[in-house]
A and B are shown apart, each in its own frame.
Chain A
Amino acid sequence: MNRIFLKLAAGLFAATLLGGCVAPKTVDYSAFKESKPRSILVMPPVNESPDVKATYSLLSQVTFPLAEAGYYVVPVALVDETFKQNGLTNANDIQETSPAKLREIFGADAAMYVKVTQYGTTYMVISSQTVVTATAKLVDLRSGTTLWTGTATASSDEGGNNSGGGLIGMLITAAVKQIINSSTDAGHPIAGITSQRLLSAGQPAGLLYGPRSPRYGTD
């Protein structure tokens, strides 16, 4: 429960930041509004980072923001198994599957194509930070139309600048952070924040609310 709260809190923090600081981009939602997708199939993310954990780390955390936005999310682990059963194990190959075939098997109205461009920790003398960056594209599986695109990033460095002790203090902080960031999967909690920033509704240029949300149709 503690972890869930942390994730939720982090997501809210992100939403608040975005809501406050960034001038709203003008996004054309007309195709999205016309499409009215109820269910979303999240394709296993293509990984452009050097860390092989990126695909499943992110895929395991996409359901929360999308379901809370009001969409049915096709169960991600079952989807991955179904592709494997059909001989598709590579995310690039999987994303080549035709929209018609995807709709026939999974029955989803739309598919989310995700790409991880950064996942992992950069080590430096003074500072090491863990960063996860991803992009997403929502495509209507009935028409093949692109409904929405987005990008988001999160870093372990956010809100961590509390070193007040000069160079020695900085070095100690850096050493501590190195330990945190070098734990076996430091990217995973950061990926959770990236996922929420990328796929939550109710933020500038973000996804629209889906039919299962009480806010559906208000944006």
Chain B
Amino acid sequence: METKMNGLRVIAVAAAALWLSGCAQPKTLYQWGSYQPEVYEYFKGESKEAQVAKLEEDLQKIRSTNGNPPPGYHAQLGMLYGSLGKDDQMVQEFRTEKTLFPESATYMDFLMRNVKTGVASK
């Protein structure tokens, strides 16, 4: 994991230098934690229990700084809970996604209608 990041490190240092030298960017809209790496873990078929643990841990950190999790964070957790047979927690996470991002309402409603046959039954 560390070695393959070395090539990027050069880029990162150069970018940091440029960044400090003037093109100030505002902070990110969201606190990402390990959302994208954990989505990749999901695609690779790695342990869902481990993904839930990591996402929940990062969510605590995000909350402790009054940050905002990105679009999809709660929905991803919901799907993981559903696949572990924890339907109550799944529905709760889907509802949170919908509250934070009303744009997700159509899809979250679709998923909750399909609790028995949809994405979560796998």
Contacts and interface: CB of A to CB of B under 8 A. Distances in A.
Interface of A: 3-6, 8-13, 15-16, 19, 38-39, 56-57, 59-61, 63-64, 67-68, 70-78, 80-82, 85, 105-108, 130, 156, 158-160, 162, 177, 179-181, 183, 185-186, 188-189, 192-193, 212-214
Nearest to B118: A85
A177 B75 CA distance: 38
B39 A76 contact: yes
A11 B25 CA distance: 11
B43 A107 contact: no
A85 B101 CA distance: 24
Given A68-B28, A77-B76, A80-B43, A3 B5 contact: yes
A179 B36 CA distance: 25
Contacts of A73: 70-72
B105 interface: yes
Given A85-B118, A214-B26, A64 B104 contact: no
19 contacts: A4-B32, A6-B12, A8-B28, A9-B11, A9-B19, A10-B11, A12-B15, A16-B15, A61-B36, A63-B72, A64-B70, A67-B70, A73-B72, A75-B107, A105-B110, A107-B103, A159-B11, A160-B10, A177-B7
Contacts of B19: 9, 12, 16
B104 A10 contact: no
Most chain B CB atoms below 10 A, which of A10, A64, A72, A73:
A72
Nearest to B73: A75
A9 B5 contact: no
Given A60-B39, A60-B40, A12 B9 contact: no
A180 B6 contact: yes
Contacts of A11: 15
Contacts of B119: 78, 81-82, 85
Task: Give me the 8 closest cross-chain CB pairs, A-B, nearest first.
Answer: A107-B106, A13-B15, A75-B72, A72-B103, A56-B43, A60-B40, A9-B15, A75-B75
Given A68-B29, A179-B3, A82 B75 contact: no
B103 A6 contact: no
Contact of A75 (B25, B76, B110): B76
Given A107-B103, A189-B5, A63 B70 contact: yes
A16 B18 contact: yes
A111 to B, nearest CB: 13
Contacts of A10: 8, 11-12, 15
B79 A78 contact: yes
B67 interface: no
Nearest to A107: B106
Contacts of A183: 3-4
A71 B119 CA distance: 23
